[in-house]
């Protein structure tokens, strides 16, 4: 079924629903009739259609459960009749204005898979005789159910066909990618399509530890980025064993990455990304509904990771074996390309969501004097020590460090709190002035400067350019340690 045909089927379905309700209202002679879907996920009643001969009735398209009288009846399985003033208060019928003329209400529930999914409501002055209109009501309910089930089957069939078509295309795209960061980004976004109420989050090795550094763009209810992987968590066990682990979460346990993560519920499939027997990532597919992890979906998720690993290995330059870290530099900082992909994902996810982070660049202000006093090997060691010192997890914060260019480090501080961000910067600036000790045993005094901005608006390139300008301003001003734009 093409998209146009699916849209046509939806329009025709809605038209049939309207026609059926109008026919029922006329045949049983009631002045007001309407149909609400029961959206349990959003906890709302969603209006499908209505019909009335009155001029003082107006319906809301969406209304929260707790603001509608139907809330008490959203789980009924059989026909129910109510009387105003006896079963419900007159003021609860909020769709009437300038006087309420409805005294008797009849509810017709519709169920799918054992759950009430819709309520048809008939309202009028007189009590509706179920015996007199049994044939009309039965015909309406049967027709409604047949149309609903047919539409759901067609929609499910279309979605199944579409997702398998997308799956084949995704595998082709994985095989055509050339860079490891490009492949892993395509991998998580491909996996996301199988998780309607979930996310894909990747823990990578960097800064001398493992940290959540990448997430699918359409992630929902996702673990935070910048979490350090702790022992006894699902991702830790996955990396230790080198095999996939599936678990459901009860009472917020087991944790996926860290004891500080929020919203540990639903279910998770943890999959290691392995190349030549080396574990390069823990890929966690999560969803609030454990039922989504059926055997077929679990197989496809694992297969996408496996294909990504094979594609990365096949595109390695001659002489590389896959035993080095794919996503970090020799200093333990993440490669610039991965930092950009992570930033792009955060900016994409910000659309319509309350999520933000800080992006910045950090450089060594007294680099010239350090170069005159230390060897190349010592300067490399210094950069490794700086990366580990700057790791936000060292001070209990979320974030991670990347390399922008020679002696310039990038960072993503993934807590939306300006005070904590500045505290982290200032503490690091003080610490590295006196606490960096090279292999020879002598302390090295390092002066840092930073330029940063809140990653709220614009694309990744604009954010990075803004941080460059801020750092340049700080480097050219002796009185400033850092600059925000």
pLDDT of res. 355? 66
Which token pair is 98?
């300038």
Residue 1's pLDDT band, with cuts at 50, 70 and 90, is: very low
Report d(CA 241, CA 481) in Å as an integer.
45
- pTM, rounded to two decimals: 0.67
pLDDT classification of 348: cutoffs 50, 70, 90 = confident
Q: What is the mean pLDDT of the chain?
A: 88
pLDDT score, position 201: 97
Going by pLDDT thresholds of 50, 70 and 90, the confidence category of residue 4 is low
How many angstroms separate the CA atoms of 456 and 349, rounded?
A: 11
Q: What are the residue boundaries of the structural domains of the chain, listed by start? A: 3-156, 177-314, 336-484
Tell me which architecture the domain covering 336-484 has in CATH: 2-Layer Sandwich (3.30)
Class of domain 3-156: alpha beta
pLDDT digits (tens, 9 = 90+) for 277-292: 899 999 999 998 888 8
Which tens digits make up the pLDDT trace of 110-169? 887 678 889 999 999 999 999 999 999 999 999 988 887 666 665 555 555 566 667 777
Q: Which of 60-64, 121-125, 249-253 has the highest mean pLDDT?
A: 121-125
CB 283 within 8 A of CB 271: yes
Written as one string, the DSSP assignment of 138-205 is: HHHHHHHHHHHHHHHHHHHHHHHHHHHHHHHHHHHHHHH--SHHHHHHHHHHHHHTT-TTEEEEEEEE
Q: Is the distance from CB of 334 to CB of 328 less than 8 angstroms?
A: yes
Instruction: Tell me the mean pLDDT in the region 70-91.
Output: 93
Q: CA 194, 231, 402: angle at the middle one, nearest 5?
A: 70
Distance CA 202, CA 185 (A): 10
pLDDT single digits (tens) 384-403:
999 999 999 989 999 999 99
d(C-alpha 199, C-alpha 221), whole Å = 7
Mean pLDDT of 361-390: 94
Q: 177-314: which CATH number, 3.40.50.10420, 3.30.450.40, 3.30.70.1560, 3.40.50.2300?
A: 3.30.450.40
Place of tokens 């709302």: 44
In CATH terms, are 3-156 and 336-484 the same topology? no
Q: What angle do CA 84, 88, 89 make, to 5 degrees?
A: 80
Task: Please count the other Cβ atoms lying within 10 Å of the Cβ belonging to residue 431.
Answer: 16
258 pLDDT band, cuts 50/70/90, is very high
| Rounded to 5°, angle at Cα 409 from 458 and 336 | 60
Look at residue 321 and tell me whether its pLDDT is greater than 90: no
Cβ pair 474, 449 in contact under 8 A: yes
pLDDT of residue 19: 94
What is the sign, positive or negative, of the torsion defined by CA atoms of 418, 424, 425, 427? positive
Least confident of 47-56, 93-102, 301-310, 345-354: 345-354
pLDDT score for 2: 47
Of 241-255, 285-299, 461-475, the range with the lowest mean pLDDT is 285-299
- DSSP secondary-structure letter at 33? E
pLDDT above 70 (res 177): no
Tokens of 461: 């390139």
Mean pLDDT of 320-338: 84
- CA gyration radius for the chain? 30
Mean pLDDT of 348-372: 83
The SS3 of residue 249 is coil
pLDDT above 50 (res 109) = yes
pLDDT of residue 480: 86
pLDDT value at position 97? 84
Cα angle 13-18-19, degrees, rounded to a multiple of 5? 95
Q: Using one digit for the tens of pLDDT, what is the confidence trace for 403-430?
A: 999 899 999 999 888 999 999 999 999 9
Q: Cis bond leading into 251, ω under 30°?
A: no
């Amino acid at each position: 079924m093409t998209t146009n045909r699916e849209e046509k089927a939806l329009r025709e379905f809605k038209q049939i629903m309207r026609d059926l309700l109008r026919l029922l209202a006329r045949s049983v002679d009631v002045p007001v009739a309407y149909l609400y879907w029961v959206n349990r996920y959003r906890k709302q009643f969603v209006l499908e259609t209505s019909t009335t001969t009155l001029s003082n009735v107006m319906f809301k398209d969406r209304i929260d459960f707790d603001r509608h009288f139907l809330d008490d009846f959203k789980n009924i399985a059989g026909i129910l009749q109510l009387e105003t003033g006896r079963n419900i208060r007159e003021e609860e019928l909020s769709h009437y204005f300038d006087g309420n003329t409805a005294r008797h209400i009849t509810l017709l529930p519709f169920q799918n898979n054992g759950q009430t999914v819709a309520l048809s409501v008939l309202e009028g002055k007189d009590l509706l005789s179920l015996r007199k209109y049994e044939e009309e009501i039965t015909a309406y309910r049967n027709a409604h159910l047949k149309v609903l089930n047919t539409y759901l089957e067609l929609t499910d069939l279309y979605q199944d066909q579409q997702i398998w078509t997308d799956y084949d295309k995704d595998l082709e795209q994985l095989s055509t990618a050339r860079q490891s960061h490009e492949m892993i980004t395509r991998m998580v976004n491909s996996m996301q399509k199988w998780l309607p109420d979930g996310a894909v989050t990747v823990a990578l090795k960097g800064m001398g530890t493992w940290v959540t550094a990448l997430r699918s763009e359409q992630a929902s209810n996702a673990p935070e980025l910048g979490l350090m992987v702790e022992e006894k968590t699902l991702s830790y066990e996955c990396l230790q064993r080198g095999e996939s682990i599936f678990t459901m979460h009860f009472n917020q346990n087991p944790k996926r990455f860290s004891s500080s993560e929020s919203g540990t519920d639903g279910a998770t499939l943890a999959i290691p990304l392995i190349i030549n027997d080396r574990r390069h990532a823990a890929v966690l597919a999560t969803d609030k509904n454990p039922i989504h992890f059926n055997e077929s979906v679990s197989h496809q998720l694992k297969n996408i990771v496996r294909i990504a690993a094979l594609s990365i290995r096949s595109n390695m330059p001659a002489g590389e074996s896959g035993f080095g870290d794919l996503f970090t530099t020799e200093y333990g900082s993440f490669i610039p390309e991965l930092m950009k992909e992570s930033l792009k994902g955060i900016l994409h996810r910000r659309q319509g969501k309350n999520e933000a982070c800080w992006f910045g660049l950090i450089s060594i202000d007294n680099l010239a004097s350090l170069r005159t006093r230390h060897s190349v090997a010592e300067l490399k060691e210094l950069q490794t020590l700086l990366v580990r010192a700057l790791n936000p997890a060292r001070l209990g914060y979320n974030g991670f460090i990347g390399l922008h260019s020679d002696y310039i480090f990038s960072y993503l501080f993934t807590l939306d709190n300006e005070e904590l961000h500045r505290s982290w910067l200032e503490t690091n600036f003080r610490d590295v002035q006196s606490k960096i000790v090279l292999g020879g045993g002598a302390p090295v005094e390092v002066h840092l400067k930073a330029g940063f901005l809140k990653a709220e608006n614009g694309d990744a390139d604009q954010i990075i350019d803004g941080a460059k300008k801020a750092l340049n301003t700080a480097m050219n001003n002796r009185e400033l340690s850092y600059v925000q734009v």
